[in-house]
Structure 1
Amino acid sequence: MILNNCYHCGQHIEKGELVLQSIKGVEHSFCCHGCAGVCDAIHEAGMESFYKRTIEGDLLSPPPPPSKDATFFDYDEVQAQYVSKLTSKREITLISEAIHCAACIWLIEHTLAKMDGVLLAKVNFTNKQIKLRWDNDKIKLSEIIQKLNKVGYDATPYDASASQKAFRKANRDLLYRLGFAGFAMMNVMWFSVALYTGADQESLFRNYFHWIEFIIATTVILYSAKPFFQGAMTSLKSRTIGMDVSISLGVITTYLYSFWVTIDSSHPGEVYFDTMVDFIFLLLIGRYIEAISKNKAVDATRRLVELQPKVARLKTEDGFEVVSVTRLKKKDLVIVKPGDQIPVDGLVISGTGNVDEAMLSGESTEVFKQEGTKVSAGTINIDGSLTIEVDAIMQETMLGKIVEMVEEAQGAKASIQCTAERIMPWFVTVIISLSVLSFLYWIVEANLETAMIAATSVLIITCPCAFGLATPMATAVASGVSASHGILIKNGALLEVLNEVNHFVFDKTGTLTKGQMKLVDSHVVEGIEDKDALLKDIYRVEFHSEHSLAKAVCQSLHSMYSDLANKNLELDFFQAHPGRGVEARYHGQHYLLGTATWLKQYDIEMPDIFVSLEAERAEKGQTSVWVALDNKIVAILFLEDELRPDALELISRLKEKGKSVTLLSGDRYAVAKTVAEKLGGMEVIAEVLPEDKHEKIKQIQASGSRVAMVGDGINDAPALVRSDVGFALGSGTDISMDSADIVLLNNELISIDTAVELSARTLRTIKQNIASSIIYNFTLVPLAMAATLTPLIAAVTMPLSSLIVIGNAARIRTFFSKRAIAKRKRRRQEAM
C-alpha cells in the first residue's frame, strides 16, 4: 500500500526516496530504510500495538543513525562519570530526544523489559530521561543502547548541559514559527482593512489583495501551522480525534473556501485568510507558553545539582589539596573552613562548629557539629574548622537523592487534560458528520455549489475557535489578574485541578511559621532591681555574635528599646564558643550566655524554678538561652518561631470549605503538635526526614485524595512536584519556587484560599464558555445545514461566538475588584 507519508514516522516521503517493505505480509511505504528497519524490529518484538498507542502530538522522528561509539560506554573509566557504583548491578540515566508521547514510554519500557539482564527501565516523559538499572555481568550498556537505536530511539548518558541545549533548540524552533505568524498577521491585516473599507468594490484591487493574502496565508500554513497538521495526522493515524484535528479542519476549510473565492473572480463571497492567520498566531502563543512551563519543570533539578559544591579540600600529609569532588573516595578526609559549603556527606572526625542545614531540613536554627556527628553536602559551615570523613559524594548524598526524587515525581505527575479537551473528540466527530450529511443531501437535492456552501458553512460556523478558547482564555485571564495581585500561577490549566483538591498539606518552618526566631519571654532571678538595664547589657553582648539566636535576641530587644540604636556597644572582651554560647567582659563584669549544659561546666548553680520552666517550654518548641553574670544565673530567655499572622485564618477557611488539612514537619512531634493546636487543630505528621516527605504525599494520594502541598524550602521540592498542585512562598528558596505550580509572590498565606476561590470561579467560567459555544452551534448549525447561511454569514457569526467567550472570560477580572473582595469578606464573616 503506497502512501505519501511514512508508515513509521509519518513524515512526507520525498520524491525518489520511497522505500517499500513487507511487514508481516503487508507492504508499507517508508521514507527511508531506517524507518523500515525500526518498524520491522517493532513488529518482530511483538510491539506492533505501539502504533495504536501513539497519541496526538508531534510526529515521530526518523530513526537515528546506528551508534558507532556505543561500545565506548562499556569502559568503567567512561561509566564512572555517569554511574555512582561500578558493581555488577549498575544504574544510569540515559536521555533520548526522540521520546515524544506515552506510546514512546510504553515501547521503550516493554522493549527493555524483555532483555535479559535489564533490571529496571523507567521513562520520565517530562525531561525525556530513561532511568536504567542493569546487571553488567549479563549485558553490556552498549547492547542496551543499540537495542534502543534499533527501535528508533537515540540514547546517550544524561548530561545536563546537552539536555538544556536540546530544550533551547526546540523552543527556538517554536519561537521562529510564532514570530513568522505574528509578522504575517500584521501584514495580512493591512490588506484586510483595505478590503473592508471599500477596495473590494473595484474588481482589480479586490483580486490583487486576495492573491497577496493567499500567498501570505499559504506560507503561514506551510511553516507556522505545521505542528497542528502534524498533530492532526498523528491523531488520525492512531484513530483518535483531538484538538489538533479540529483546529486543522477549521484552518484548511477556511483556507480552501477562501482559495475558491480567490481563483473565481466572479464569486460573490469573501476571503478569510486574515481570520485563519490570526487564529494560528494565537494558538502558537499558547503552545510557546506551554513549552516554557515544561522547561521550568526540569529547571528545578538543574539548579539543585548546581547547589552541590564541585571542589573540596582533600587532606594530605602536607596540608590539603583542592580537588574535584568526583575524585573523592569513601574514607578520604576533607577540610571545611568557616563559611564554606560542605562538599560531601560524611562524619566529623575533628573540629567543632555550627552548620546551617536550612536548605535540607527547613529549620532556621543552626546545628552544632562535633566529633562523631554527621554532615550533609550543600549545607554551610558557619564557624569553626571541620575535618570530615567522606561517606558519599554527588548522587549518593542526601542532596543528590532529593534531585532524584524531584525527577521521579516529575515523571509520575499526571498530565492535565482540560474540560474542553475531554469534550472535543465528541464535538469534532459530530460536526464532521453533520458537514458530510449536508454535502450529500444538497448534492442530490440541488448542485455541487450549494452542497459545497452548506458543508463549508457548517465547518466554518463550528470552527473550534470559541470552543478552543473556552479554557485557555479563562485560565489566561485568571493567571494574569492573579499575578497582578501577588499570586503567580505558572500553568493556568492547574486552576481546574486546584478546584478538585480536597487535602492541603503544609510544611511548618517558614510556611505556617515565619522561620525566624523571636524573643517571646524573659525571666530574671529575684533581687535584680533593674531588668531593663540587664536586657540592654544582654543586647550589647549578643550584638557581637553571628549566631541566629543572638540575632533574634538583638532584633527583639531593639524593637523594645529604641535608644539602643545610638548606643556605643564596645566590649572589653568577647569570644564565641561554637555550639555552646558566648563569653564577654564589660566594665569588670563577666558575662556568659548560652546553653545550660555549657554553663554547668563553670560550676554555676541552676535555679530549680528555671530548670522546670525550661523543660515546660521545651515541650512547646521554645528554645532557652541562659544568662550568667559573674558565675551566677541572672536570667533566662525563651525564643520561639512565630506563626504567620494569617495562618490561623487560612486553616479556618479551608476547614469551612470541607478540606482536610495536615501539618508535615521534620521537627519533633511535640513542637509540631503545639503549632497545630494553635491553628485550631489538624492532623500532624512529624519527625519526617527530608527525603521521605514526597512519600507521605504519595501515600495521601493513594487514598484517593487530590493533594496540594505548601512549602518553602529545598527539602519540600520533591513533595511540591509530587503533589497535584504545589504552592511555594515568595520568601522561600529559588528551588521551591521552581518546583511549585503556584508561587505566592505577596508572601501571604491567605492567598491560598483566594487561589482556591479563583479556581472555582475560573472553572465556572469555563463551563459557561463551553455551554455558550454549544448553544451557539445548536442554534446556527441547523441553519447552515439547511443552506440558508452563506459562508460569509458563517464567518461573521463565528468570531461573535469567540467574542462572547472572550468577554465572559474577561469578567474574571472583577474577582479582584473592591466590591467582590468586600462581598467575600462579608460572606466569611457571616459564616463565622
Structure 2
Amino acid sequence: MPRVKCDHCHLEYDEDIMIKEDSLNFCCKGCQGVYHLLKDDGLDSFYDKLGNKSIAPPLQVDSDVQRFDTKSFEDNFIKTTQEGFKRVDLIIEGIHCAACVWLNEKVLYDTDGIIEANINFSTNKAKVVWDEEKIKLSEIILKIRSIGYNAYAYDATIADEKATKSKRDFFIRMMVAVFATMNIMMLSVAKYTGFFTGISEEVRGFIHLGEFILATPVLFYSGWIFYKGAYFGLKNRILNMDFLVSSGATFSYIYSLYILFGGKGESYFDSVAMIITFVLVGKYLEVIGKKSAVDTLDKIKSSIPLEAVVIEDEIKKVLPINSVKVGDIVELKAGEKASFDGELESSSASFDESSMSGESLPVDKQKGSKIFSGTINCEKVIRYKVSKTYEDSTLNSIVTLLEDSLSSKPKIEHKANEISKGFSLAILSLSVLTFIVWYYFGIDLGFDYDGANHFEKSFIVAISVIVIACPCALALATPIASLIGISELAKKGLLFKEAKYIETLAKADTLVMDKTGTITKGKLKVKKARILDDNIHKLNLLYTLLDSSSHPISNSVKAYMKENFKLETKQLFDIQSVDAKGVVAKYKNLDGKLFKLLGGNIKLLRDNNINYKFESKNSVYLFAIDSKVIATFELEDEIKEGAKQFVSNIKKLGLEVVMLTGDNESTAKKVASSVGIKNYVAEVNPLEKAQFIQDLKDKNRNVIMAGDGINDSVALAKSDVSIAMGNSADIALSVSDIVLLNNSLNSLELAFTISRRTYKFIKQNLFISLLYNAITIPLAMAGYVIPLVAALSMSLSSLIVVGNSMRIKLRK
C-alpha cells in the first residue's frame, strides 16, 4: 500500500489512514489541528524552518477530553445531585497507594468549582461532584492527567479489564525485583564471606559489577512507579511516600556507583534492590488484603444479570438491562434473578428474597404483588411489569450505596490525613539533620557497618531514617479498617450510605425508635370490629377510603374488610391526609348530594365536631359519614421477636433508648413496658417528632433515629444518623443514612456493635502507626538500623495495619 507524508510532522503513513483536506494530508487529527493553529496564528513559517526534518506527532492524550463534555457522555455517565451540581464516577488509573489517593483528592479539592472528590482506595473509583458553571468535566480530567494519572468514566467491564492489566503490570515489576534481589543476595553472601576468609579487590570489583547489573532494572523498572509518584508529588509541591522510597534508594545507588568506579568502601546495591523489593511486595500483599475486603461488593455486582427477556406483542426480545423501560413486561424463568423492581402479572409466583431480607423461606406472591430486583424466581416461568428502571432498582441502589460508602471517609481519617501532610517533609529534614550531626560533629557509637568509613556511616544512617519512616501505614490506618467494616456490615444486611457514619454510630449516646414497624412487626391485625351500619354502599365507601391511604392501620383494616366482605371501590375527591389522625374525603352520590367521609382515630372525629365515646388500650380506626359513626376497629400489633433483649443489649452499650410514636398513650405505654423502654413519647405528629430530636441535639446528645414510615422522614432527617428499616417508605429510605435490608432488630444491634468494633480498630491502627514511627525513627537516627532492615520494617508496618484491620472479621 502506498505511503504518504504528513504535512505537519513529515512522518510517512499508509494512505488509507491519512486524513485528506484539499491538497493537504495529515496522519491524525492532532496534526491537522496543530497545522491550522499555526496557520491561524501566523506561525506557518515554522515549516520553512523545519525543512525536511520530521517531528513527533502531537500527543493524543488531551485531544480526546472534549468527549467528556458531550451530550451523549452526560446522558450515559453524569447525574445531577439534589443541590443541582453534576456528579460522575471515574476510574483513576495509576493509583498504587494511599498517598496517591491523598494526592489526587488534594489537587481536586484545591481546584475551584469541584465540590467533592472521594476516591475508593480499593477500586480506584472516584466520586466527583462539581459546579458546571465554574468548571467543565474535561478540565477536571486534564487536571488529573497533569499530576501523572489518567481518568475515564466508570464502566464495570472496562474497569475490571484495566484493573486486571494494572495488577498484572504491578506483579511483573515485583517479580523482576524479587528475581534480581535473590541473585544479589547470593552475590552478597560471597562478598560478606570474603570479609572473614579474604577476598581480592578484583573479585570484589566483579561482585560490585554483578550487583550493579542486577540492581539497575530493579531501581529503574520495578521502582519506576515510585519515581513517577515522587515526580508528580514534587510537581504539586507535595513530599509523599514515593519520594521517601525513591530518594532513599537513589542516594544508596549513587553512592554505590561511586564505590564501583574506584571509591573506597562498600557498595549498597543489595540495599537498593531490597528497599524496592520489600516495599513492592508489601504493596502487593496490601492489595490482596484489600481485595478480600471488597469480595462482598464483587459478589453482588457479579450476580447482576446483563440481559432481560422483554415481551412485546407476545414476541420475546432479549435486551440489555439498561434498555428496558418502565412499563415493559419482562419474562423470568425459574432460578433466574430479577433485574428490575416491578409488579407481578402472572397469577402467582414464589420468590427467594434472602439476599434482601435474610428470610430463608420463599415468599409467595399474587398478581399485583411487588417484585424486587435481586430476588430469585423459585418455581415457574412468570411475567411482571417493570416499575423502576435498572438504574433506579433496589439491587442497583444497594450496589451504589455500598460503593459510595466505600469511597467516603470518616472524620477521623481527615484528622489522620492532616497529620500525614507534613510527615514526609519532617522525615526528610530529620534525615539531613542526622547526616549533619553524625558527619560534622564526629559521632561514632562504635557500630562497624562492615568496615565503613565515617562519611559512609553518616550516609547510611541518614538513608535509614528516610527508608524506615512510613507515612503509608498512617494513611492506610483508617481506610482499610473502614473498608472491612463496611464490607462486614453489608454482609449482615446493613448498607451505610457513607463510611463516616461508622464513627458517628460508635459515639452515639441516644437511640430514638419509632414504634410501628420498628419495635413492632408493623403488621397490625384487627382484634375487634364493630359494624354499626352494614349497608353495603357505606361499606364500599369505607373500603375506598381505606384504599386511599398507605398507613399500616388502614392497610390492616382494608385487609380485614376484603377478607370478610365482597366490596368495590367508588369515586372519591378532595382526599386529604391529616398527620397522626387519619384521612378525610368527600363523596357525591347520583343525586348530587355531598357526603363527608372520616377515617382515623378519635382525635380526627373530635376535630370534626363528632362527640363519640370510645376507649381502648389498642390502636383504633373509626369510620364516620358526616356526623354518624359507621364502624369501629381495634387493632393490635405484635412486638418483634427479641425486641426486649435488643433494648437490654443497647442499654448495656451505654445508650439511652427512647420510643417516639404517633399512637395513643395506652398502646405506647403497653409496648414500651413490654420491651423495657422507660422513656417514651406518644401521640406526636411528624413535626413534633422532629422537634423532639432537635431538642435532644440542643442538649449535645448524639442522636440516632430508627424509623420506617413517611411520618418519620422529618425526624430522620433531623437526627445525627438516621436508620431506615427494610420495609420503609421510599421517602424514609431517601433521607436515611443507613438502611437495614432485613428489617431485623438483630441487624440494628449489629450496626452499633460492628461500628464500635471498627472504630476501635481504626484507633488501634493509628496508634500502631504513630508508635511505630515514634520508636523506629529515633532508632534509625541513632544508627541502630541499616537501610535493608529499614525497608523491611517499613513494609511490615503497613502489613501489620492491614492484618490488624482484618481482625474485624473475627467477631463471633
Calculate the TM-score normalised by the size of structure 2. Answer: 0.52
Alignment partners' CA distance in 1, 2:481 and 2:186: 32
- Corresponding residue for residue 552 of structure 1: none
- Does structure 1 residue 405 correspond to structure 2 residue 405? no
Q: CA offsets per residue over residues 442-492 of structure 1, 9 Å max, x none?
A: 8xxxxxx9884475154135243265697699999999xx9xxx9x9xxxx
Percent identity, aligned pairs only, is 20
Task: Provide closer, same or farther for how the CA distance between residues 474 and 188 of structure 1 changes in structure 2, counting only shifts above 3 A.
Answer: farther
Q: Which of 238, 245, 248 is the matching residue for 1:247?
A: 245
Offset at residue 395 of structure 1 (A):
0.9
Equivalent residues of 2:340, 2:387 under 8 A apart: yes
- Separation in structure 1 between the aligned mates of residue 205 and residue 160 of structure 2, nearest angstrom: 48
Deviation string, structure 1 residues 581-628 (Cα, Å, up to 9, x no partner): xxxxxxxxxxxxxx98898689xxxxxxxxx99979xxxxxxxxxxxx
Q: For residue 61 of structure 2, what is the aligned residue in structure 1? A: 64
1:179-232 Cα deviation digits (max 9, x unpaired): 122222222222222333345621243333232222222221112222222222
Contact kept? 2:467, 2:791, Cα under 8 Å: no
Offset, 1:63: 6.3
In the TM superposition, what is the alpha-carbon distance from 1:391 to its structure 2 partner? 2.9
Distance 1:333 1:249, change over 3 A: closer
8 Å contact kept, 2:468–2:777: no
Identify which of 383, 391, 395 aligns with 1:395. Answer: 391
Q: Deviations over 1:134-171 (max 9, x none)?
A: 99xx9xxxx96699569958776543211111111111
Please give the alpha-carbon distance, in whole angstroms, between the structure 1 residues aligned to 2:759 and 2:423. 24
Give the superposition deviation at 1:175.
1.3
What is the distance in 2 between the residues matched to 1:329 and 1:179?
49
Deviation, 1:358, is: 4.7
Residue in structure 2 matched with residue 503 of structure 1 by the alignment: 507
Q: Is the 8 A contact 1:466 1:805 kept in 2?
A: no
C-alpha distance in 2 between matches for 1:182 and 1:324: 45
Matches of 2:467 and 2:409 in 1, distance apart?
29
Matched, 1:771 2:769: no
2:282 paired with 1:286: yes
Query: Which of residues 159, 165, 179 is equivalent to 2:161?
Result: 165
Pair 1:258 & 2:252 matched:
no
| Mean Cα deviation higher: 254-263 or 178-187 | 254-263
Contact persistence 1:326–1:393 (CA under 8 A) = yes
Matches for 1:207-286 after TM superposition, within 5 Å: 207-264=205-262, 267=264, 269-286=265-282
Distance 2:310 2:802 in 1: 60
Paired position in structure 2 for 1:202 = 199
Q: Confirm whether residue 330 of structure 1 aligns to residue 321 of structure 2.
A: no
CA contact 1:478–1:813 (8 Å) conserved in 2: no
- 3-state DSSP of counterpart to 1:399: helix
Contact residue 145 and residue 155 of structure 1 kept, 8 A: no
Verify: 1:465 aligned to 2:429, yes or no: no
Q: 1:728 to 1:335 in 2, by over 3 A?
A: closer
Q: Which amino acid aligns with 2:247?
A: L
User: Which deviations, in whole Å up to 9, do the C-alpha atoms of 1:217-254 show, x marking residues without a partner?
Assistant: 22211122222222223333333333333323322233
| 1:661 and 1:683 in contact (8 A); partners too | no
Conserved? CA contact 2:278–2:791, under 8 Å: no
Distance 2:108 2:794 in 1: 45
Structure 1 contact 342–377 (Cα < 8 Å) conserved: yes
| Matched-pair contact (CA < 8 Å) for 2:109–2:117 | yes
Any idea what the Cα deviations from partners look like across 1:685-724, whole Å, max 9, x if unmatched? 333489x99x979x877xxxxx9999999x9xxx9xx99x
Distance 1:254 1:164, change over 3 A: same
1:364–1:275 distance in 2 versus 1, CA, 3 Å: same
d(CA) in 2 for partners of 1:354, 1:474: 46
In the TM superposition, residue 275 of structure 1 has moved relative to its aligned partner by: 3.1
The 5 Å alignment of 1:313-392 reads: 313-318=309-314, 323-336=319-332, 340-348=336-344, 351-353=347-349, 355-360=351-356, 369-370=365-366, 372-382=368-378, 387-392=383-388
Instruction: Check whether the contact 2:285–2:799 (CA below 8 A) recurs between aligned residues.
Output: no
How far, CA to CA, are the matches of 1:169 and 1:302 in structure 2? 18
Question: Partners of 2:86 and 2:673 in 1: how far apart?
Answer: 42
**Mean Cα deviation higher: 322-331 or 187-196:** 322-331
Counterpart in the other structure of 1:182: 178
- State the shift of 1:773 in Å: 2.6
CA distance change for structure 1 residues 91 and 368 in 2, over 3 Å: closer, same or farther?
A: farther
CA distance in 1, matches of 2:787, 2:141: 51
Which secondary structure does the structure 1 equivalent of 2:387 belong to?
strand
Matches within 5 A, 1:342-741: 342-348=338-344, 351-353=347-349, 355-360=351-356, 369-370=365-366, 372-382=368-378, 387-413=383-409, 417=416, 423-435=423-435, 452-453=455-456, 455-465=458-468, 502-503=506-507, 641-642=641-642, 652-653=652-653, 677=675, 685-688=705-708
Give the partner amino acid of 1:435: F
Structure 2 CA distance for aligned equivalents of residues 327 and 373 of structure 1: 24
Residues 233, 815 of structure 1: CA spacing in aligned structure 2 closer, same or farther, 3 A cutoff?
closer
| 2:659/2:672 contact within 8 Å kept | no
CA distance in 1, matches of 2:617, 2:316: 44
| 1:755-784 per-position Cα deviation (integer Å, ceiling 9, x unaligned) | 666665555444443332344356x3xxxx
Give the aligned length.
595
The residue identity in structure 1 corresponding to 2:204 is R
Residues 716-768 of structure 1: CA distance to partner in whole angstroms, max 9, x if unpaired? xxx9xx99xx9999x99xxxxxxxxxxx9xx9997877666666555544444
Q: Is the 8 A contact 1:712 1:728 kept in 2?
A: yes
Where do 1:301-316 residues align within 5 Å?
A: 303-316=299-312
C-alpha distance in structure 1 between counterparts of 2:289 and 2:659, whole Å: 29
Distance 1:456 1:471, change over 3 A: same
Residue 381 of structure 1 and its aligned partner are, at CA, apart by 4.3
Q: Distance in 2 between matches of 1:181 and 1:190?
A: 14
User: Is contact 1:776-1:801 (8 Å) kept?
Assistant: no
Question: Alignment partner of 1:388: what SS?
Answer: strand
CA 1:772/1:644 → structure 2, altered by over 3 Å: closer, same or farther? farther
TM-score (norm 1): 0.51
Once the 2 structures are TM-superposed, how far is the Cα of residue 306 of structure 1 from its aligned partner?
A: 4.3
Give, as a single letter, the amino acid of the residue that structure 2 aligns with 1:685: M
Shift of 1:64: 0.8
Contact 2:481/2:761, CA 8 A, preserved across alignment? yes
8 Å CA contact 2:705, 2:722 repeated in 1: no
Q: Which runs of 5+ in 2 are unaligned?
A: 1-29, 38-57, 96-100, 443-451, 492-498, 513-520, 522-554, 567-614, 620-636, 661-666, 680-701
> Does the C-alpha gap of structure 1 residues 401 and 264 become closer, same or farther in structure 2, counting only changes over 3 Å?
same
CA distance in 1 between partners of 2:287 and 2:187 (Å) = 32
| Alpha-carbon spacing, 1:670–1:309, altered in 2? closer, same or farther (3 Å) | farther
Q: Tell me, which stretches of 5 or more residues in structure 1 are unaligned?
A: 1-32, 41-60, 114-119, 443-448, 489-494, 509-516, 518-578, 581-594, 603-611, 617-636, 702-706, 733-743, 781-792, 822-832
TM-fit CA distance, 1:798: 8.2
